[in-house]
Amino acid sequence: MKLTRINFESPASVPVPTVSQLTNRIRSVLETDFGQIVVMGEVSNFTAHSSGHRYFSLKDEQSSISCVMWRGKAVSFQIKDGLKVKLTGKVTVYPPQGRYQIDVSTVMPAGEGDLFLAYEALKQKLQEKGYFAQERKKPIPTNILKIGVSTSPTGAAVRDIISTIERRFPLATIYFRPTLVQGDGSAQDIVKAISELDNLPVDVIIIGRGGGSIEDLWAYNEEIVANAIFNAKKPIISAVGHETDFTISDFVADLRAATPTASAEIVTSVTLEDYMYHIDVKVSAMQRAVNRIIENTQNLITKDFAIKGMRRIQERINILKQNLGVNTNSIITEVRKRVDFLKAGLQSKYSVIKANDPKAPLNKGYALLSDGNEYIGNEKSLNQYTAIHIIRKNETVEVKLNH
């Protein structure tokens, strides 16, 4: 085995570049080797910044490169996603991110991209079939209490929609159906979400997602999604992307919202504060109506009493006096009858008592015998007494008995 000795220099003898130095060396190589370039591709993720600068990606089927067009560079047409362009510029490096990009000098249309052509073709087809006709769109209810929401469970759109609804009208019930919004199978999942929410007791359905490139939003440009929206029984609001983004679902839906947040504001056009205000108005109106009824009734009573009150009172007094006289006579008659009845009963009892008075025979000359404690009847023999009392009507004498 042959060994080869490798001599390494001391680390202190080799200068180590910083990140910025390395980036600048790469930048120098790219800008020197490539110089001015001409390239063709499809615009994607186009953004016009408030500063006047324009940012986008240029792509084909396999690759993508970032592009920047600084403020002041004139463009004779509108740059938009899906547009095929030919541009000139130079390859450079954006040092803060170490990312290479094309610094665009000029840009010219070179034909529309495949996605944009497919979008326009489907849009034309559905428009001819009447999918966009205003007269077939279902009205959005005013007082919405149950809301179906179809969007990604992880994006900002769902947070914006739910937080806006809860803030503006917390009495609403939200039926949230987590949905795949981009990539393989996303269009099919959106169709399923619309079908499931359409079979729930919701007043309206929101479908949407946050912004993105034409590729990111493409699921909402699929014909099966358009058919699901068109055939839904419940009204649907499309809230896909940003205000400048337009998808097929926006044209087919019963209403387009510029953003997901805007869709939440639409379905809560009547807020909790509005309900409370209307309740207060109704309560105040009812109070005023009741007060008017009470006041009118009081006035009628006062007026009627002034005209007829005294006469009615006098009539009532006369009736009471008359009734009192009749009742008094009846009471007296009843009392007399009761007294006579009691007297007759008392007389009858007195006659019975008088007839049974043991002293009654004395008036005829008869006498009673007594031992001093009780009367001596015929059933008792006088032989058992040593003395007895003989009682007559006017005298009583004691007699000694000798046996």
Q: 219-234: per-residue pLDDT in tens?
A: 999 999 999 999 999 9
The answer to whether position 326 is within a domain reads yes
What gap in Å lies between CA 172 and CA 61, rounded to an integer?
45
State the average pLDDT over residues 291-310. Answer: 71
Lowest average pLDDT, out of 2-16, 56-70, 246-260, 307-321, goes to 2-16
Give the confidence band of 307 by pLDDT, cuts at 50, 70, 90: low
Pair 203, 141: CB distance under 8 Å? yes
The answer to whether position 239 is within a domain reads yes
Domain boundary among 112, 130, 156: 112
State the average pLDDT over residues 65-82. Answer: 85
Same domain for 91 and 190: no
The pTM of this model reads: 0.55
Q: Is 383 helix (H, G, I), strand (E, B) or coil?
A: helix
Residue 8 has pLDDT above 50, yes or no: no
Same domain for 333 and 253: no
Q: Rounded to 10 degrees, what is the CA torsion of 382, 387, 388, 394?
A: 150
Residue 28 belongs to a domain with what CATH number? 2.40.50.140
Same domain for 391 and 331: no
Same domain for 366 and 351: no
The answer to whether position 198 is within a domain reads yes
The Cα-based distances of 256 to 164, 230, 252 in angstroms read 17, 14, 9
pLDDT at residue 224, as a whole number: 94
Pair 102, 90: CB distance under 8 Å? yes
pLDDT at residue 195, as a whole number: 97
The answer to whether position 303 is within a domain reads yes
The answer to whether position 7 is within a domain reads no
The secondary structure element, H or E, covering residue 42 is strand 36-48
What gap in Å lies between CA 398 and CA 401, rounded to an integer?
10
Residue 162 belongs to a domain with what CATH number? 3.40.50.10550
Give the confidence band of 165 by pLDDT, cuts at 50, 70, 90: very high
Q: Rounded to 10 degrees, what is the CA torsion of 8, 9, 12, 15?
A: -100
Same domain for 250 and 235: yes
Same domain for 150 and 258: yes
Greater confidence, 32 or 171?
171
State the average pLDDT over residues 362-372. Answer: 74
Token couple for 180 = 């795949």
Structural domain count, the chain = 4
What gap in Å lies between CA 141 and CA 183, rounded to an integer?
33
What gap in Å lies between CA 46 and CA 250, rounded to an integer?
20
Give the confidence band of 304 by pLDDT, cuts at 50, 70, 90: low
Q: Is 265 helix (H, G, I), strand (E, B) or coil?
A: helix
The answer to whether position 2 is within a domain reads no
Residue 4 has pLDDT above 70, yes or no: no
Of the candidates 156, 73, 75, 60, which has an alpha carbon nearest to the alpha carbon of residue 113? 60
pLDDT at residue 310, as a whole number: 63
Give the confidence band of 163 by pLDDT, cuts at 50, 70, 90: very high
Same domain for 302 and 396: no
Cβ-Cβ contacts under 8 Å for 396 (sequence gap 6 or more): 389, 390
Same domain for 315 and 260: no
Per-residue burial over 125-148, b if 16 or more Cβ lie within 10 Å, else e, is ebeeeebbeeeeeeebeeebebbb
Of the candidates 13, 70, 24, 63, which has an alpha carbon nearest to the alpha carbon of residue 41? 63
pLDDT at residue 2, as a whole number: 47
pLDDT at residue 242, as a whole number: 84
Pair 205, 232: CB distance under 8 Å? yes
Residue 10 has pLDDT above 60, yes or no: no
Domain boundary among 90, 112, 134: 112
Percent of the chain with pLDDT over 90: 38
Pair 259, 224: CB distance under 8 Å? no
The answer to whether position 129 is within a domain reads no
Of the candidates 173, 176, 185, which has an alpha carbon nearest to the alpha carbon of residue 155? 176
State the average pLDDT over residues 54-61. Answer: 92
Greater confidence, 44 or 22?
44
Between CA 297 and CA 307, with CA 301 as vertex, the angle to 5 degrees is 145
What gap in Å lies between CA 368 and CA 395, rounded to an integer?
11
What gap in Å lies between CA 190 and CA 210, rounded to an integer?
15
pLDDT digits (tens, 9 = 90+) for 350-363: 676 666 666 667 67
The answer to whether position 11 is within a domain reads no
Greater confidence, 171 or 298?
171
Same domain for 372 and 284: no
Residue 393 has pLDDT above 90, yes or no: no
pLDDT at residue 254, as a whole number: 97
State the average pLDDT over residues 248-276. Answer: 91
Domain boundary among 91, 112, 133: 112
Same domain for 151 and 241: yes
Lowest average pLDDT, out of 135-139, 207-211, 253-257, 296-300, goes to 296-300
pLDDT at residue 1, as a whole number: 40
What gap in Å lies between CA 208 and CA 264, rounded to an integer?
11
pLDDT at residue 366, as a whole number: 73
* Phi, psi dihedrals of residue 268, rounded to the nearest 5°: -120, 40
Pair 86, 190: CB distance under 8 Å? no
Same domain for 335 and 264: no
pLDDT at residue 323, as a whole number: 66
Same domain for 260 and 146: yes
What gap in Å lies between CA 361 and CA 156, rounded to an integer?
129
CB atoms within 10 A of CB 92: 16
User: The domain containing residue 382 runs over which residues?
Assistant: 360-400
